[in-house]
Amino acid sequence: MNGQHQVAGNRLTLLQNGTEFFPQLCADIDAAQHSIYLETYIFAADNTGRMIADALRRAAARGLAVRVLLDGFGSAELPQHRVDELRLAGVEVQWFRREISPFTLRRSRHRRLLRLHRKLAVMDGEVAFAGGVNIIDDIPVYRDFSEPRLDYSVRVQGPVAGEIHVAMRHLWALVSWANLRRRGKEFRLLVMNRAERIATPGIALLLRDNLHHRRDIERAYLKAITGAQREIIIANAYFLPGRVFRRALKHAARRGVRVVLLLQGKVEYRLQHYATHALYGQFLAAGVEIHEYQASYLHAKVAVVDGQWATVGSSNIDPFSLLLAREANLAVQDAGFAGELRASLLAAIGSDAIRIGDEYCGNRNFFGRLIARLSYGAVRALVGLLGYRRHG
């Protein structure tokens, strides 16, 4: 990959998998001169985690302001001594909602499940990354895979990098204020960074939160899907859309648009995996193509519509991403960028995926479909307990 695309004054580079993302991220950290912000859901204590941590420590040693925001659940297994090493080197580390109880599901406590799922980085407010790649080894060591997770990130140089910088500073200040640290200084940052993002034709930073931007990512998807004329390709690791999203995809297929779903073929989280299978019948009946990725885990959260519009980011199409987590996607209107992502997805579909046929709905698969329905019911019950039943 690594083709560069000029979009509305921004230079975009599509990066596939950690093999392209991690070296570029380290290079940009080493080239930074003033500040570095990094947000991630998972920061693992593996070779990749050590590589990124070393780069961050080098930056702090040069006198840069280095700030790392980690999710309290996704990065819970990061040993405390690794965090202490970063802090001793001058790296500021904060946790987003570290106090969690995944077994407490009463509505009054649903906020404990609000997660930081964004994967963002910005250097000097001029170079930024947005995508789905966590700080973790590319090939899962606990599975016999020879291929890396299929995932994507976008390197951005230009005005949108500045927007990402503002968004990350704002969340850092918000978390600092919530943690009662440097309250006065961080509150001033919080106020200064409340300005709304400026709409830029051709590229948009889509942030999902639980205040002003609850449905921005979902609405961007729906606008692209309802306006599609020829083709929709969606690759998503955890795909469990609500009624409105499902209806839009089925309507597109029935009006002659080719709708292609590239979904998880390997079982990573059983409940979500089998719950997704409960939707296969209705999609197949509407003429939607379903392909399951087999080479490794699918971790991508991307889409291409009509070879012109594309999105890359952290948001799955499931209730937890669309209703609970803080997410970040880039939406890009550019034939060159969208075409590069489309070619990558079609290559993965052609060489590393199997197509699900109508036999999935046959009698011989009755037990599998029963498990899928039970799993789907369990997910819906969980969403209902959290108070979001109305979204379907």
| Mean pLDDT, residues 78-84 | 97
Query: Is 110 known to be catalytic?
Result: no
| Mean pLDDT, residues 30-45 | 98
pLDDT at 151 over 90: yes
| Mean pLDDT, residues 332-339 | 98
What confidence score (pLDDT) does residue 278 get?
A: 83
Query: Is 299 known to be catalytic?
Result: yes
**How sure is the predictor about 226, in pLDDT bands with cuts at 50, 70 and 90?**
very high
Instruction: Choose, from 5, 28, 71, 117, the residue flagged as catalytic.
Output: 117
**CATH numbers and ranges of domains, the chain:** 4-200 (3.30.870.10), 216-391 (3.30.870.10)
| Least confident interval from 218-222, 256-260, 369-373 | 369-373
CA-wise closest residue to 339 among 207, 243, 233 = 233
Q: Are 137 and 44 in contact (CB under 8 A)?
A: yes
Highest mean pLDDT among 42-51, 186-195, 272-281, 322-331: 42-51
Query: Is 391 known to be catalytic?
Result: no
Residue type for position 67: R
What is the share, in percent, of the chain residues with pLDDT greater than 70? 81
CA angle 49, 116, 266 (to 5 degrees): 65
CA-wise closest residue to 152 among 220, 27, 236, 41 = 236
What confidence score (pLDDT) does residue 136 get?
A: 96
Query: Is 301 known to be catalytic?
Result: yes
pLDDT at 309 over 70: yes
What confidence score (pLDDT) does residue 93 get?
A: 97
Instruction: Choose, from 299, 318, 334, 352, the residue flagged as catalytic.
Output: 299
pLDDT at 123 over 60: yes
Highest mean pLDDT among 98-107, 143-152, 294-303: 294-303
Q: 3-state SS string over the chain?
A: CCCEEEECCEEEEEEEHHHHHHHHHHHHHHHCCCEEEEEECCECCCHHHHHHHHHHHHHHHCCCEEEEEEECCCCCCCCHHHHHHHHHCCCEEEEECCCCCCCCCCHHHHHHHCCECCCEEEECCCEEEEECCCECCCCCCCCCCCCCCECEEEEEECHHHHHHHHHHHHHHHHHHHHCCCCHHHHHHHHHHCCCCCCCECCEEEEEECCCCCCCHHHHHHHHHHHCCCCEEEEEECCECCCHHHHHHHHHHHHCCCEEEEEEECCCCCHHHHHHHHCCHHHHHHCCCEEEEECCCCECCEEEEECCCEEEEECCCECHHHHHCCEEEEEEEECHHHHHHHHHHHHHHHHHHEEEECHHHHCHHHHHHHHHHHHHHHHHHHHHHHCCCHHHC
CA angle 306, 219, 231 (to 5 degrees): 15
What confidence score (pLDDT) does residue 88 get?
A: 98
Q: Are 353 and 292 in contact (CB under 8 A)?
A: yes
| Mean pLDDT, residues 337-345 | 98
Residue with tokens 């790296």: 91
Note the pLDDT tens digit of each residue in 176-209: 988 775 555 555 555 555 545 556 679 999 999 8
**How sure is the predictor about 102, in pLDDT bands with cuts at 50, 70 and 90?**
very low
Query: Is 185 known to be catalytic?
Result: no
Highest mean pLDDT among 7-21, 98-112, 140-154, 191-205: 7-21
Q: Are 308 and 342 in contact (CB under 8 A)?
A: no
The better pLDDT of the pair 106, 207 is held by 207
Instruction: Choose, from 28, 138, 306, 352, the residue flagged as catalytic.
Output: 306
What confidence score (pLDDT) does residue 188 get?
A: 57
Tokens of 133: 């790649």
| Least confident interval from 64-73, 234-243, 265-274, 378-387 | 378-387
pLDDT at 392 over 80: no
Between 243-254 and 216-226, two packed helices, what is the crossing angle to 10 degrees?
20
Instruction: Choose, from 138, 301, 334, 352, the residue flagged as catalytic.
Output: 301
Residue type for position 264: Q
Distance CA 164, CA 313 (A): 13
Distance CA 24, CA 77 (A): 25
What confidence score (pLDDT) does residue 391 get?
A: 35
Name the average pLDDT for the chain. Answer: 87
| Least confident interval from 49-53, 60-64, 192-196, 259-263 | 192-196
What confidence score (pLDDT) does residue 262 get?
A: 98
Highest mean pLDDT among 310-319, 356-365, 373-382: 310-319
| Mean pLDDT, residues 44-68 | 98
What is the share, in percent, of the chain residues with pLDDT greater than 90? 68
pLDDT at 117 over 90: yes
pLDDT at 232 over 80: yes
Query: Is 223 known to be catalytic?
Result: no
Distance CA 127, CA 129 (A): 7
